[in-house]
Amino acid sequence: MFLVDWFYGVLASLGLWQEVKILFLGIDNAGKTSLLHELKNEFIWKTSIDGYTMLLPYRNYENHPTQHPTSELLSIGKMKFQIFDLGGHQIVRHFWKVYSAKVLFAVVKREARMRYLKPVPQFWSSIKTLCNFDQI
């Protein structure tokens, strides 16, 4: 671990190591926001109907659809990741074209795979067109 930290430290001091920008894309309800909170190790307290209070992963929270792109900065050792969580609903997909990044992370929920069968070709062609795929 020390060697890895040292290595990234040297790269950073030479200006060769920069923040990595990552886009989380996926259709609505795929779990992008939940994943982002889990990467940040965020948990929520939830009280069950029989009165027990439990600490649960963020995904068990009744999240609301993402209306506007949000970004979070995560650090792992000397590595810094700026993660953009772009909403997946049709009405907010126009934001996708504004963003480009070296790393694209497509979030797909296994339980909802039937929902993807229809949108998948459109999803990838949107990504290619809207995010200027050649630069990703």
Ligand X SMILES: Nc1nc2c(ncn2[C@@H]2O[C@H](COP(=O)(O)OP(=O)(O)OP(=O)(O)O)[C@@H](O)[C@H]2O)c(=O)[nH]1
Binding residues: 26-33, 66, 88
Query: Cα separation of 95 and 113, whole Å?
Result: 24
> Would you put residue 5 in left (φ > 0), alpha (ψ -120 to 50) or beta?
alpha
Which of 8, 20, 28, 100 contacts ligand X by CB under 6 A?
A: 28
Judged by CB under 6 A, the chain residues 48 through 107 that form the site for ligand X are: 59-60, 63, 65-66, 87-89, 107
Shortest separation between residue 18's beta carbon and ligand X, angstroms: 27
From residue 32 to residue 51, what is the string marking binding to Mg ion with x (rule CB under 5 A)?
-x------------------
Listed in sequence order, the DSSP H helices in 46-133 are 113-117, 119-130
Beta strands in the chain (DSSP E): 20-25, 43-47, 53-57, 70-76, 79-85, 103-106
If the CB atoms of residues 23 and 33 are measured against Mg ion, the closer one turns out to be 33
If the CB atoms of residues 8 and 116 are measured against ligand X, the closer one turns out to be 116
How many other C-beta atoms lie within 10 A of the C-beta of residue 110? 7
Interface ranges with ligand X (CB under 6 A): 26, 28-34, 59-60, 63, 65-66, 87-89, 107, 111
